[in-house]
Every structure is written in C-alpha cells, then in structure tokens.
Amino acid sequence: MATQLLTIPMFPLNLVILPGEVKPLHIFEERYKQLIHDCLQNSANFGIPYINNNSVSEFGTEVRITKVVKVYDNGEMDIMIEGLRPFKMVEYSSVLSPKLYGAGMIRYEDLAMYPPTAGLQELIKDYVWMSQQKSIPIDAFDTANIYTVARLLDLTNPEKYDLVKAPLLLDKEELLKQKTRLFIHLIRTEQDLQSKFILN
C-alpha cells in the first residue's frame, strides 16, 4: 500500500517538539499570524520542521493549537501547542502563494508509536528514581511509547531531532538507552563528588 502524502502549513523553528510535548509560542511575524489565524479558522494543524544551521530540515512534528493565551493589540499572539505526529518532509515551499507562509508535503513517521522495551523501561525507572526520587507506577508504560519516554529526559533540540529522524524503532530505542545511561552516570558521578566533599 502506498504511503499517503499530505500537504500542511509549515512554521519552521529552531525547535523540536516531540509527540505529546506541550510548548508556548509567541507569534509576531505577519506570515505566522496569518498561519495561526487560518489554522484556528479551519480547525487545522501545522508542521514545525527543525531549522538546523539556518536551513529547514526534512523531519519535524505536526502540532495542534491547544489554547490562545493572549492576543495583543498589534495582532501578536501567545499560544500553546501540542506535538502530535512526527513526519518526513518530501517537498517544501517557503511561500504558498497567495498565503504569506509556506507549506510542506509530508509523510508521517509512526514507527515509534510502540511501547518501549523492558530494557529501556528499567533504565528510565532508574533514572527517574535517581534524579527525582520518584517511583514510576507499574502500569505507567502500558500506554507509553518512545516519545513518552523521551519526554522524561532533558534532551536538547539536536538530540530530539536525532530521535525523530532515526529510521528504525531499534535505532530510537538505542539512542534513548545511550542517553539515559549517560544521565545516570552523570548523576552518580555528582553524588560521589558530593559524598567525598561531605566526608572531607
């Protein structure tokens, strides 16, 4: 079966939003005021492809507007958005005339909407306990996926982008395992240093 291609409005940013992640956005450029207005009018979503080294990357996330927090006198807006589904951009136009904003033809990347493996779950449990002194409930992973787990980690935008663009579910798992092991190692090192400081 051929993969369906869709065209959606695009709002390129130096930001990677993971599925399920909620972020505030301040809208000030005229083209993006128009984009947000159109999305609100049509109950439509838009895409955020990652801007890396001043160029629009081929991967991003479809987002929806969850709330308009404030509209200013000059038309600027504060909004809240939520990440929905990662995509690969097949084609991109920076301006979709007669609109001021651009659009992209996309293909959804749904490989990661599966539960994390037992190995990754155990690592995440260890990390959350060490970093926050909290236990993760036994059933917490029943409805979780790779991106649910990733949101528990303090990933940078480049790290999030690497996760989104990783071609296979195994690649995404391995990336998160490596990152979680590193965080656990850093926490242990810091705890050891504090312990030595107290002893001295």
DSSP per residue, 85-142: EEEEEEEEES--TTSSSEEEEEEE--TT-SPPPHHHHHHHHHHHHHHHS-PPPGGGGT
pLDDT score of 187: 85
What's the token pair of residue 196? 């030595």
Residue 195: pLDDT band (50, 70, 90) is low
Q: Determine phi and psi for 170, rounding to 5 degrees.
A: -60, -40
pLDDT score of 193: 72
Distance between CA atoms of residues 72 and 51, nearest Å: 27
Q: What domains sit in the chain, N to C, each tagged with a CATH number?
A: 6-108 (2.30.130.40), 118-199 (no CATH)
The residue that leads in pLDDT, 199 or 193, is 193
What's the token pair of residue 135? 């236990």
CA atoms within 13 A on the CB side of 130: 20
pLDDT at 166 over 50: yes
Share of the chain above pLDDT 70, in %: 92
pLDDT at 2 over 60: no
Chain mean pLDDT for the chain: 89
pLDDT 10s digits, 111-141: 666 788 889 999 988 888 888 777 777 677 8
| Under 8 Å between Cβ of 67 and 17 | no
pLDDT at 66 over 50: yes
Give the pLDDT mean for 188-193. 77
pLDDT score of 10: 97
Distance between CA atoms of residues 127 and 179, nearest Å: 10
Distances (CA, A) of 155 to 35, 50, 125, 181, 193: 28, 15, 17, 13, 24
Residue 6: pLDDT band (50, 70, 90) is very high
pTM for the whole structure: 0.86
pLDDT score of 1: 42
DSSP-assigned states of every residue in 143-189 = T--HHHHHTTS---HHHHHHHHH-SSHHHHHHHHHHHHHHHHHHHHH
What's the token pair of residue 31? 């083209």
Coil vs helix vs strand at 193: helix
The residue that leads in pLDDT, 186 or 192, is 186
Residue 91: pLDDT band (50, 70, 90) is very high
Q: Determine phi and psi for 47, rounding to 5 degrees.
A: -110, 145
